Structure 1
Amino acid sequence: MKFLDQAKVYIRSGDGGAGSVSFRREKFIEMGGPDGGDGGRGGDVWAEAVDGLNTLIDYRYQQHFKAATGGHGMGRLRAGANASDIVLKVPAGTQIFEEDNETLVADLAKVGDRFRIARGGNGGFGNAHFKSSTNRAPRHANPGQPGEERWIWLRLKLIADAGLLGLPNAGKSTLLAAVSAAKPKIADYPFTTLHPQLGVVQVGNHSFVLADIPGLIAGAHEGHGLGTRFLGHVERCAVLLHLIDVTAEDPVAAYRVIRKELKAYSPELAAKPEVIAFNKTDLLSTEAIEDKLKDFKRRVRKTPLLVSGATTMGVPAAMKKLLEVIDASRRGDRPADAPGITTEEWRP
């Protein structure tokens, strides 16, 4: 299945049904009076986060969604039927934006979250509604109210506990394959990973979800390489695993490139807890690794872990470190601005 994390769709709620102008006419009954019924309500358009979906691929092939019009009122005080609602089923973690792709409308962070994107029009009143002591035979009724229409953007942010970042060819896919059952594409050239990959990591009796994000390069925030399009998938992560190729000429420069791109994309994302790890340690001698480790500590004032995705050396310790940060985040209080159920109730 092709991974699609963004889609633009057109939605329109249903118009309300028209009220009826009718008079009671039966044999032997004089002056029956008005008996026109009210129109039915137009259908709403809802978005709902459901289980079993992890991409927005369905909205690549259908971009227009229109709810039905409510039934029209009829004589004998018969009201029109309310139209059925339309529900757009999306994966958990989907955000809904206005047409400008910047104004957030709703955030469906977990399965079961629902939000009404467009409200159906109210049905019109029939002429029986306008009967009064001074107007015994009203000959007018209300038309139904029109529905709402708009273009919206659906943007998926994968739900993961930890995010895996690094320059292209840092060994992220190899590490993900080593710690989970995921089978990402692995090759010896840059940009092997073109879409985010998820894997479930088991550490003892505990587990967490690790997301592998396509490699960033210098100038990614300006659109270079694959840009920063996929960084949104790690915005919900509790911790970032920054993987650095220890065989690179200057690991410090590689680290600073990623940090610069994170800050340019989102200061909040750059402020997340991070675990730094030197990867591919099986390719260098112990002395060479120690020299680069000392240089990194001196210039960055942080101590990276030593791992090898190919041989899994040091990987369990790195996963345990990630789990400690994730558990601390899970035990912490949920922020007041954390995404949750967003609903809107219909009011006449």
Structure 2
Amino acid sequence: MAATMNDVAQRAGVSVKTVSNVVNGYPHIRESTRARVLAAIEELDYQLNVAARNLRTGRTGIIALALPELSLPYFAELADSVIQAADAMGLTVLIEQTGSRRERELEVLSGARRHLTDGLLFSPLALGAGDEALLDVDFPMVLLGERLFPDAVDHVTMQNVEGARAATEHLLGLGRRRVAVVGVHPGEVVGSAGLRLRGYREAIEAAGLPFDERLLGEAGLWHRSTGAAAAAHLLDSGAEPDAIFAMNDAMALGVLHELQVRGVRVPDDVAVIGFDAVDEGEYSNPSLSTVDPGREQIAETAVRLLAEQIADKAGTHRPQRVYADFRILERRSTVPA
């Protein structure tokens, strides 16, 4: 006969209510207890009657994750981290790709698919200042990314300014004095490019060096190809950089490629550091120094906050803005063997 919830409770040594809390993704459960219940479920091959649970609780057990572009390594790896964090809480993740298009981001907020999920993790790029009212939604939602909105909604993000400053300081600390930056969006202030340029500029000026606009490498989309093109422009323009900070790892990998094609030695002639700590950078040649922005912490915190909202029937949840911890990963693209 099929295992029941009572069977799982007896095997795990907990109450039926605790088993129910685990399978319904209730957040306030000790991890050791959750692990025992999940182990018992696996041992007994307990099959949750999802249809019955949904009717009883009004929940689907599914959350949505809306990201700009899964072809970028950071977002792909963030999605993986979110899936793992959600799985640990008994939640399934439905992934949507917006392409950074405003109409798609609006559809994410109001489209028909919303009734399929219990809540939304949302990383908007097209929405920004003036769109605050659009985020006044009647379902659980946690924002990700750099677009800064009022504190009326949970928001988990990274320390863009501080991380970029630390990356630039790392290069300056190695004795580099012609530090270029790749990924600039002219005129941007609140997005990733604007914030990371601010951190770069703070480090340059704190070191007593002039801010040289010839060392700014513009790039629209942050891909490998745009990183390579920006590096080529810097080298051909006579800017003579002795180090390059790329605002994400995809562009940094493109920078490495362009330097190697031209016979420029890394890090002897030009040191390179990226931002994001994607897996590919550990295996590039040379391995890529980078800013680890706390991707797993971002995923785990965002899922936890969303689960708290979903479980908050009394309406006592207070929105939070959380900045993940970051660290510099020193590898061979800046520090030779």
Q: TM-score higher than 0.5 here?
A: no
Q: TM-score, normalised by structure 1?
A: 0.24
Rg (Cα) greater in structure: 1
Structure with the higher fraction of residues in helix conformation = 2
Structure with the higher fraction of residues in strand conformation = 1
